[in-house]
């Protein structure tokens, strides 16, 4: 029973995992991209459409990543090169994604995914690791993209804390002018990491529509993009903590569905509010904590233009 719940929590948390990790990279470069919801929706709808019409998992995931990355590229051009306000641009991207996905998704409602895709996302137990008592079958008998999520977090953390590029990225986010003066190519770093964030968001969206749900429904993300932005704060911009944050919210996401079986007297609608209420709670708690010292990248949300310094 408990292990069923944990498995479902991991599956429901995987879209969040990719989105949160992506946003950490963007924010570490000093860019606050509020367009996560839009980029996830773009990835979800494009991935689903391509998966449906080609039956190719690789193509579906690739095109979802391109869709998310393209959305992020729009954001990057607008905020980095054309100097528009990051908050407004992020909102614009979210609204574009909402409209675009419901326009494209009109014909996708009720369509079932081809067998090849369902087959690809069946669990592949990892030898030895899946024999660990209790946790083994939960963590190491999952579908390939869950493993992809593990790998992304581990590689992302090592990249951020153990490589020269990661060090430069953190420098750009903490003090852009100093990083610029030290010869780091600030604009390049910002572009690359904002777009990388979008690619990961698109992948998360595709996992949502191809595996987690798996079907198309209008506004399929239901606020997960916004929750992911709050989770970045919860994780204190540290990729390692993404495991905790994403799977915790994956659990909250499905708890209403799971509790239906127990005939509890609380309406499911009230339980379904939980992820959103807990998100507000997290924001409140981490803001209180923030006043005692752990804030995000110092330059986050601020524009940087060399000649205006």
Partner 1 sequence: MKIGSFYLEKRTHVRWYIQGLSILIALLGAFGVGALLIKTTGANVGEAYAALFKGAFGSRNAFLETLVQSTPLILTGLAMVVAFRARVWNIGAEGQFFAGAMAAAWVSMSLHDTLPYPLLLAAVLGSAMVAGACWSLIAAYCKIRFNANIIIVTVMMNYIILFLLSYLLSNTWREPGSYFMQTARFERITYLPRFFSSRLHLGFFNALIAAALVYLIVWKTSLGYSIRAVGVNPVASQFKGIQIKRTILTVMLISGALAGLAGGGEIAGLQHRLRLDISTGYGYTGIIIALLGRLNPVGVALAAIFFGALVNGSTHMQIFTGVPVALVQSLQGIVLIFLLMSDVLTRYRIRRMPHAD
- Which residues make up the interface to partner 1 (CB under 8 A)? 34, 38, 74, 78, 81-85, 87-89, 91-100, 102-103, 106, 222-223, 226-227, 229-230, 233, 267, 269-270, 272-273, 276-277, 279-280, 283-284, 287-288, 290-291, 305-308
Between 58 and 99, CB nearer to partner 1: 99
Quick one: 264 or 270, whose CB is closer to partner 1? 270
Min separation Cβ 160 and partner 1, Å: 22
24, 201 Cβ separation under 8 angstroms: no
State which residue, 73 or 213, has the beta carbon closest to partner 1.
73
Cβ at position 29, least distance to partner 1 in Å: 16
Question: Which CB sits closer to partner 1, 67 or 152?
Answer: 67
Residue with tokens 């209790």, as numbered in its chain: 134
Q: What are phi and psi of 141, to 5 degrees?
A: -130, 60
Tokens of 1: 């029973």
The alpha-carbon radius of gyration of the chain (Å, integer) is: 19
Task: Output the six-digit token pair for 180.
Answer: 């610029």
Nearer to partner 1, 185 or 306 (CB): 306
Please state the closest distance from residue 58 (CB atom) to partner 1, in A: 24
Write down the least CB distance from residue 11 to partner 1, Å: 21
| Exposure string over 78-95, b if 16+ CB within 10 A, otherwise e | bbbeeeeebeebbebbbe
- Residue matched to tokens 């000093």: 30
Residue 35: CB minimum distance to partner 1, A: 10
How far, in Å, are 49, 64, 99, 296 from residue 109 at the CA level? 11, 18, 15, 40
């Amino acid at each position: 029973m408990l292990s069923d719940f944990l498995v479902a929590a991991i599956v429901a948390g995987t879209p969040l995992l990719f989105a949160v990790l992506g946003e950490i990279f963007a924010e570490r470069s000093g860019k606050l991209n509020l367009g996560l919801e839009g980029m996830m929706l773009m990835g979800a709808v494009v991935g689903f459409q391509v998966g449906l019409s080609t039956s190719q998992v690789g193509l579906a995931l690739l095109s979802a990543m391109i869709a998310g990355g393209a959305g992020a590229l729009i954001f990057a051009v607008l905020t980095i090169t054309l100097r528009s306000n990051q908050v407004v641009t992020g909102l614009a991207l979210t609204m574009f994604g909402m409209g675009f996905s419901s326009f494209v998704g009109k014909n996708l409602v009720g369509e079932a995914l081809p067998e090849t895709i369902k087959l690809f996302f069946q669990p592949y137990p990892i030898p030895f690791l899946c024999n660990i008592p209790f946790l083994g079958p939960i963590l190491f008998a999952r579908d390939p993209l869950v493993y992809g999520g593990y790998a992304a977090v581990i590689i992302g953390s090592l990249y951020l804390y153990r490589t020269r590029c990661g060090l430069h990225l953190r420098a750009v986010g903490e003090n852009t002018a100093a990083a610029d003066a030290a010869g780091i190519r600030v604009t390049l770093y910002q572009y690359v990491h904002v777009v990388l964030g979008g690619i990961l968001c698109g992948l998360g969206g595709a996992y949502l529509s191809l595996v987690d749900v798996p079907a198309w429904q209008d506004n399929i993300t239901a606020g997960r993009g916004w929750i992911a932005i709050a989770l970045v704060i919860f994780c204190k911009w540290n990729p390692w903590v993404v495991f905790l944050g994403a799977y915790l919210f994956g659990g909250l996401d499905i708890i209403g569905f799971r509790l239906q079986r127990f005939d509890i007297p609380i309406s499911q609608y009230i339980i379904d509010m939980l992820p959103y209420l807990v998100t507000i709670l997290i924001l409140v708690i981490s803001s209180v904590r923030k006043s005692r010292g752990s804030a995000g990248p110092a330059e986050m949300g601020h524009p940087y233009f060399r000649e205006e310094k």
